[in-house]
Chain A
């Protein structure tokens, strides 16, 4: 009897979660319906974003994302390699480093923004620029990248490591020909997850990459990403709602694509990586 009630109750809970999300998607879709078009993606914004499209923003977003990954992926791989190859799994240093990484992952993004502002924009003199934003973002994304890559590397079968030791193979040879190729799918997932995280970020970029609406001329130019654009249109620009919603739809579509890409690479849900 109790089971019966529970069975029904579950459906209510499910609805409680799914319905708002469905409502959200429809509301955004409706708001943006008049504005969304291929032209929206190709035109630059005008009148502080009240008209036109998001081409300049796509370009800025692309640059910031690319730079961010350019920094985060090699450093993340290096750190993951260090954790999985140079440190025994249960050593104190490994545990301590794991703790530090968890801490970094827990720091609120606005604090990364503060730090980025103080260190990259002011101390390093980069000002409000794509470079500042990308660097601050790469710091944020680093723990995620490291954790995914490390998981992938640790999953390489023990047997290969035993054979490697028995044959006295060099570390570089092992990494280059066996470890990295074996761990490649997991590492690719880490990169895609990091990209998704970076795309979704706003608070970090507010004080590092800035707000400028036009196409950036160089990496030292300020640039606005899609997420910052949504924020600005919604909060600061009267009449900006339709385009904010349209930008949101584009952003969510991009993230869904990335999610599908991860599924394709992994062929299974990746709950462990998210928590």
Chain B
């Protein structure tokens, strides 16, 4: 099972991507490469366009009026920006947000609803929902109360449910936008462990403020910085490289906590 998953995890390459909202450039000329099955951490101070970058990959930014994305984004060799069918794209690329946002439905409906929307055959839905809940370690905790409101779960559980909701569509890539920053330390650890378990099966790009977390989880790191009003990529390398042997002075300063 996991062998098949590793085969499916694609490579993710960003080439000179820029995101502009109207006149304001959020981030420019961002390039990075995530190897199949790897987790890359996207770090840097607030405001340097990391979330915008993430949104350009699953084309969430398409919905924002006045937003223009430049550059190329390759998913296993295919240019994402040329795709016509966003539904399939967003099935392949799942996203989890900083603030847990389960729907105001029951726990099980949070998973069944997207499955129904994506026309997954009825017979398979329950099984996939259960598998997703097992993957995030929630199954034992909620199996007795699947029809209770999802909003009744704790913050950490809600976030794990949101991850399950993304996983239930069987994506290949996961985009995580500071998934732990709204959680308490205990829940944060649990979600971190979950993310670690997902490595290998999925290609993951994770935005985080927490450098220690990046060190713990990431295979590779991209450091972003603010130049004037807009963000840019400063360094992108393997995890140890970036932390032990930074090539760029800003990286060194940021990682030492002296800047940002």
Q: A residues touching B (Cβ–Cβ < 8 Å)?
A: 88, 91, 157, 159-160, 162-163, 165-170, 173, 177-178, 181-182
Complex CA gap A181/B151 in Å reads 15
Check if A168 sits within 8 Å of B86, measured CB to CB. Answer: yes
Task: Give the residue name and chain of the B residue nearest to A159 (CB).
Answer: B101
Query: How would you classify the secondary structure of chain A's contact residues: helix, strand, loop or mixed?
Result: helix
Task: Give the residue name and chain of the A residue nearest to B62 (CB).
Answer: A165
Check if B104 sits within 8 Å of A167, measured CB to CB. Answer: no
- Knowing A163-B165, A165-B60, say if A178 contacts B90 (CB, 8 Å): no
**Residues in A neighbouring B97, C-beta threshold 8 A:** 159, 162-163, 166
**Residues in A neighbouring B63, C-beta threshold 8 A:** 165
Task: Give the residue name and chain of the A residue nearest to B87 (CB).
Answer: A168
**Residues in B neighbouring A91, C-beta threshold 8 A:** 65
**Residues in B neighbouring A178, C-beta threshold 8 A:** 103-105
Q: B75-115, CB under 8 A of A: which get 1 and which 0? A: 00000000000110111001101011111110000000110
Other-chain residue from A88, A163, A181 in contact with B101 (beta carbon distance below 8 A)? A163
- Knowing A91-B65, A162-B97, A165-B60, say if A173 contacts B117 (CB, 8 Å): yes
Other-chain residue from A162, A166, A170, A181 in contact with B117 (beta carbon distance below 8 A)? A170
Check if A160 sits within 8 Å of B60, measured CB to CB. Answer: no
Distance (Å) between the CB of B120 and the closest chain A CB? 13
Check if A166 sits within 8 Å of B104, measured CB to CB. Answer: no
Complex CA gap A168/B99 in Å reads 19
Complex CA gap A58/B142 in Å reads 53
Task: Give the residue name and chain of the B residue nearest to A163 (CB).
Answer: B101
- Knowing A160-B103, A177-B113, say if A167 contacts B162 (CB, 8 Å): no
Check if B165 sits within 8 Å of A167, measured CB to CB. Answer: yes
Count chain B residues whose beta carbon lies closer than 8 angstroms to a beta carbon of A.
28
Other-chain residue from B65, B118, B162, B169 in contact with A163 (beta carbon distance below 8 A)? B162
Task: Give the residue name and chain of the B residue nearest to A156 (CB).
Answer: B104
Check if B104 sits within 8 Å of A182, measured CB to CB. Answer: yes
23 residue pairs of the A-B complex, CB under 8 angstroms, read A91-B65, A159-B97, A159-B99, A160-B101, A162-B60, A163-B97, A163-B101, A165-B60, A165-B63, A166-B58, A166-B60, A167-B90, A167-B165, A167-B166, A168-B86, A169-B113, A169-B117, A170-B117, A173-B116, A173-B117, A177-B105, A177-B113, A178-B104
**Residues in B neighbouring A159, C-beta threshold 8 A:** 97, 99-101
Distance (Å) between the CB of B125 and the closest chain A CB? 14
CB-contacts of B165-179 with A (<8 A): 165-166, 169
Complex CA gap A88/B22 in Å reads 15
Residue picked from B58, B101, B165, most chain A C-beta under 10 Å: B101
**Residues in A neighbouring B65, C-beta threshold 8 A:** 88, 91
Task: Give the residue name and chain of the B residue nearest to A172 (CB).
Answer: B117
Complex CA gap A178/B117 in Å reads 13
**Residues in A neighbouring B90, C-beta threshold 8 A:** 165-168
Distance (Å) between the CB of A182 and the closest chain B CB? 6
**Residues in B neighbouring A166, C-beta threshold 8 A:** 58, 60, 90, 94-95, 97, 166
Q: B224-249, CB under 8 A of A: which get 1 and which 0? A: 00000000000000000000000000
Task: Give the residue name and chain of the B residue nearest to A177 (CB).
Answer: B113
- Knowing A88-B65, A91-B65, say if A167 contacts B117 (CB, 8 Å): yes
Distance (Å) between the CB of A136 and the closest chain B CB? 38
**Residues in A neighbouring B99, C-beta threshold 8 A:** 159
